[in-house]
Amino acid sequence: MNNTKKPTKLNELEELIRKNPSDSKLRACYAETLLNEDFLNESFEQYSILFRIDPNNPDFCFNLGIINEKQNKIDNAINYYQKAVNLCPDDPDFRYSLAFMLDKKGEIDRAIEEYKKTLGLDRDDSNAHFNVGCLYVKKEKLELAKKHFEAAIKINPDDVYARFNLAFEYKKAGEIQKALQQYNKITEISPDYSWAYYNIGCILLEHGDPDKAENFFKKTVEVNPKDLEAFKVLSDLAIAKNNHEKALNYLETALIQSPESGDIHYYLAKIYKKII
């Protein structure tokens, strides 16, 4: 329950409800305001009253679904969203919310079906494309996944998450240049996205360009000093050049960030064993 003091508007609406308990429009306004102010239990109580009065109102069902979603009551949210969809099957927001909760519950096939219906109603819903792409990855239908990630990017070119997932699928498919193009684009859109630099470094390293790869791993730890994997790779690259001092410097820097890391202590011990 939200224990925050209620805004004046809510107190005024509450007083009006006491005087006019049968005014459904007023109660709906009160319920919506409670929801917007995150008084979830009280909003649920008001929407439940409204739902009993008018069980065929899809907006009441939808808002009851939102409340349950916010409270992480997934099954209840699905039930209310399903009721909203049954009452108003052509509303893309209702469909998307149902799909999202089914997705969260792990009902992949049903979620995909509802996301597709969402896209049938609103083909420019980039979030639906992205989410169904992620579900196709789980089902190992990679061509379909790429298709939806590409669609999400076409609608929203600045969607770095869609680009990252698309790049990852390109890499798995052996489409290395396409993967690099996406990762590089991510660094343009979001220069602090450390995983893009890291993955570029990994690709370059795998394809025999350790010097160029090193620059991207350095950029990774510059952006995210807590990326221990990047520090470990940098250490390995330094050792490959027989530069143990540089390797130690990388690992000691990593240890400052994560002094309890067993991996870093282990790497340090291996290097000290070599040079002593």
Residues 6+ apart with CB under 8 A from 72: none
CB-based contacts of 42, cutoff 8 Å, min separation 6: 34
pLDDT digit string, tens, across residues 73-100: 999 999 999 999 999 999 999 999 999 9
Q: What is the DSSP letter of 173?
A: T
- Residues 178-233: tens digit of each pLDDT: 999 999 999 999 999 999 999 999 999 999 999 999 999 999 999 999 999 999 99
Does residue 1 register a pLDDT over 50?
no
Is 32 buried (19+), middle (13-18) or exposed (0-12) by CB count in 10 A? middle
- pTM reported for the whole predicted model: 0.87
Whether residue 101 is predicted with pLDDT greater than 80 in this model: the reply is yes
Report whether pLDDT(5) > 80.
no
Alpha carbon distance 268, 233 (integer Å): 13
Cα-based torsion angle of the residue sequence 13, 14, 19, 25 in order, rounded to the nearest 10 degrees: 50
Query: Shortest CA distance to 107 belongs to which of 98, 120, 118?
Result: 98
Q: Quote the CA–CA distance of 232 and 234 in Å, as a whole number.
A: 5
Q: Classify residue 155 as exposed, middle or buried by CB count within 10 Å of its CB (0-12, 13-18, 19+).
A: middle
CB 142 within 8 A of CB 174: no
What is the pLDDT, as a whole number, of residue 270? 86
Interval 27-32 mean pLDDT: 91
CA distance 34 to 44: 9
